[in-house]
A = this chain, B = another copy of it.
Amino acid sequence: MEEKIGLVQIYTGDGKGKTTSSIGLTVRAIGRGFKVCYVFFFKNFSIYPTGELEILEKLGVKTFSFALDTPLFRPSVSRESVREGCLNALNFIKNELFVNEAPDLLVLDEINNAIPNAYLSDDEIIDLIKHKPVPMELVLTGRGASQKIMSAADLVSKIEKIKHPFDSGVPRRKGIEY
C-alpha cells in the first residue's frame, strides 16, 4: 500500500469563504471516515458564538481554541497575552496534535491573521508546517498569509472579495456570517 501523503493548504484573501471552505473540506473528509481536528485562533465563542461549532463537534471533530481575545475586539487585552496564546497553540499542535491525536485533517482556523498582526512570525508557522506528520493534511485559513507562507504550501486559494453586503451596510447575519 502506498504511503499516504498529506499536503498543506492555505485559504487567504479578503473575500467570504475561507473558514467555510475549511468546514466544507471537513465534511468531505468526515464522509470518507477521516479524523479531523480544528484549532481556532482569535475566536471567543462565548462572546461571539457561531453556528458551525456545535455541528462540527456533533460530526466528531475535536476542537481547540487559543488566543481567544485580541485587542481588536477587547482593547483591555494585551498584545503580549495574544502572542503567548499563539505560542501555546504552536506547542500544543506540535507536541499533542501532531503526536497523539494525529488527525488525517487538521485545520488551523484564522492562523494566517497572526502574521500581519505580528503575533507569530511566518518562520514560526513554517517551522510548524515542517514538523507536520507526513500523512496529515494541514489547512491554514485567514487573511494575511505572507508570500513566504504561501511558498511553503502545496495549495493556495486566494478568495477575492468582488462584492460583499457589508459594504452596503448590511450587518453580520446569523447563520450566514456566523
Contacts and interface: CB of A to CB of B under 8 A. Distances in A.
A112 interface: no
Interface residues of A, number: 55
Interface stretch (A19-27, A72-80, A87-95, A124-132): A19-27
Contacts of A176: 7, 25, 28-29, 105, 137
Interface string A30-67: 11111000000000000000111111100100000000
A interface: dominant SS: mixed
A1 interface: no
A52 B163 CA distance: 28
A140 to B, nearest CB: 13
Given A17-B17, A150-B163, A175-B104, A51 B27 contact: yes
Given A154-B163, A157-B16, A56 B34 contact: no
A159 B158 contact: yes
A159 B160 CA distance: 6
Given A137-B176, A157-B160, A175-B104, A28 B20 contact: yes
Interface in A115-155: 137, 150, 153-155
A156 B162 contact: yes
Contacts of A159: 15, 17, 157-160
Contact of A23 (B7, B28, B105, B153): B28
Contacts of A23: 20, 23-24, 27-28
Across the A-B interface, give the 9 residue pairs with the lowest CB-CB distance, nearest first.
A20-B24, A31-B51, A23-B24, A32-B175, A15-B157, A156-B162, A17-B21, A28-B51, A24-B24
